[in-house]
Amino acid sequence: MCVSIQVHKAIETTEHYFKHLIPIQRMQFTAEMIAGLLGGTIVGDKSAAVSTVSSIDGGKPGSLAYLTNPKYEQYIYTTEASIVLVDNTFEPKGEVKATLIKVENVGQCVLNLLEMYNASRPQKRGISKLASISDTAHVGENCYIGDFAVIEAGAEIGDGVQIYPQCYIGDNVVIGEGTKLYPGVKIYEGCKIGKNCILHAGSVIGADGFGFAPREDGTFAKIPQLGIVIIEDNVEIGANTCIDRAKTDATIVRSGVKLDNLIQLGHNVEIGANTVMSAQVGIAGTSKVGANCFVAGQAGVADHVTIGNCVKIGSKTGIDKDVADGEIRFGYPALPGMLYHRSFAVFKQLPDLAQRVRELEKSIKVLTSEQ
């Protein structure tokens, strides 16, 4: 499920990149070149050339389209796209004007094209004169630091790190090599970011956890948050996502985790390796989510809950109890997958069932009065 979502997003992104960037560079790729890059087989004109990418239903001459969903097959017979990527197993049911390139996996090939394009993009380098960098901070080689970025005392910035304008790096923060911080990222003191991470605009790492103790007079005393946040390697964090520092020890995001925009992780939370979370997920303090989990949008996890590995949680699900490895949960209160679907089928019928009960009550009353 996680892989399919990444492929879907990559396909959507591909069209944007190629439409706007390749035409500007006036670059053209022939079917022969693309097939060589992807290890594909050409059916049609090997000299057919493209300079942009389009959806298969909106294909134009000179564009590369792709067929990943069988329900769009109808468009392959009418598309004006010059080249269409299809799976090896595809056999047309009619005439196709476009040149076909048959590949083992269309979705994966789109990802490969994106990766090749991304690797060829020029990387920003150099340190802006408008950046503020402490004398005791260490900045590695080949870094980029943009206008009005602030790097405080004792910070360690690895080689090849890119820090875009208006980022804030607190005291003694460590950032691993190859990590990229987009504009407005804020990393509070002492937090540690691994290698090759991507933090999108406005994300906040290491703000205080939400901890307050009630007083007798009805006010609240703030509980000091003395821990840090540790983000391991190859993690991507979406725009305006917030990860709170621990009360003690560390809030931890393990290697390979992918977090969407507008996610909240509370203090002392731990997220296992290669887990994926969609937008607006909230994980309350001290809860743990295992490895290779998928958490859909707007799901919520209560505090002190443990979720096992390879768990799938549907959108808007509320989890307030532990979940074992490999389980599926939907709804609130959260139910196992099939039980939820059976319950929902009954729930949809409740208005009709209520009407039938009222009618039965009337019938019983009539029968009783006649006796």
3-state helix vs strand vs coil in the chain, percent to 5? 25, 25, 50
**pLDDT: is 362 or 9 the higher one?**
362
At 361, is the pLDDT very low, low, confident or very high (cuts 50, 70, 90)? confident
The most confident of 120-124, 134-138, 364-368, by mean pLDDT: 134-138
pTM over cut 0.85? no
For residue 41, pLDDT over 70 is answered with yes
pLDDT band at 342 (very low <50, low <70, confident <90, very high): confident
Residue 349 binned pLDDT confidence (cut-offs 50, 70, 90): confident
Question: What mean pLDDT, rounded, does the chain reach?
Answer: 90
Fold entry, domain 2-120: 3.40.1390
Q: CA-CA distance, 367 to 86, in Å (whole number)?
A: 69
* Assigned CATH topology for domain 126-340: UDP N-Acetylglucosamine Acyltransferase; domain 1 (2.160.10)
pLDDT at 57 exceeding the cut of 70: yes
Q: What is the pLDDT of residue 356?
A: 87
- Cα-Cα-Cα-Cα dihedral sign, residues 22, 25, 30, 35: negative
Q: Angle, to 10 degrees, between the axis of helix 106-120 and the axis of helix 2-25? A: 50
Which tens digits make up the pLDDT trace of 60-111? 999 999 998 889 999 999 999 999 999 999 999 999 999 999 999 998 998 8
Q: What is the pLDDT of residue 4?
A: 45
**CA pair distance 191, 144, nearest whole angstrom:** 20
**pLDDT average, residue stretch 302-315:** 97
pLDDT at residue 371, as a whole number: 66
- In this prediction, residues 252-274 reach a mean pLDDT of 98
In the chain, what are the domain boundaries? 2-120, 126-340, 341-370
Give the confidence band of 112 by pLDDT, cuts at 50, 70, 90: confident
Percent of the chain with pLDDT over 90: 73
Residue 116: band (very low, low, confident or very high) from pLDDT cuts 50, 70, 90: confident
Between 371 and 156, whose confidence is greater? 156
Q: Answer yes or no: same fold for 2-120 and 126-340.
A: no
Q: How far is CA 323 from CA 263, 287, 288, in A?
A: 21, 11, 10
pLDDT at 26: 47
Q: Where does residue 341 fall: left (phi above 0), alpha (psi -120 to 50 degrees), or beta otherwise?
A: alpha
pLDDT score at 18: 43
- Proportion of the chain above pLDDT 70, given as a percent: 92
pLDDT tier for residue 119 given thresholds of 50, 70 and 90: confident
> What is the structure's pLDDT at 27?
66
For 140, half-sphere exposure in the C-beta direction (CA atoms, 13 angstrom radius) is 17
As a whole number, mean pLDDT of residues 200-224 equals 97
Summarised one tens digit per residue, pLDDT across range 288-299 is 999 999 999 999
Q: How far, CA to CA in Å, does 57 sit from each of 54, 107, 155? A: 8, 17, 51
The helix (run of H) or strand (run of E) holding residue 344 is helix 337-348
Provide the residue type at 40 as one letter: G
Q: How confident is the model at residue 123 (pLDDT cuts 50, 70, 90)?
A: confident
Q: Which residues are identified as catalytic?
A: 267
Alpha-carbon gap, residue 97 to 265, rounded angstroms: 51
pLDDT tens digits for 155-166?
Answer: 999 999 999 999
Is the model's pLDDT at 113 over the cut of 90?
Answer: no
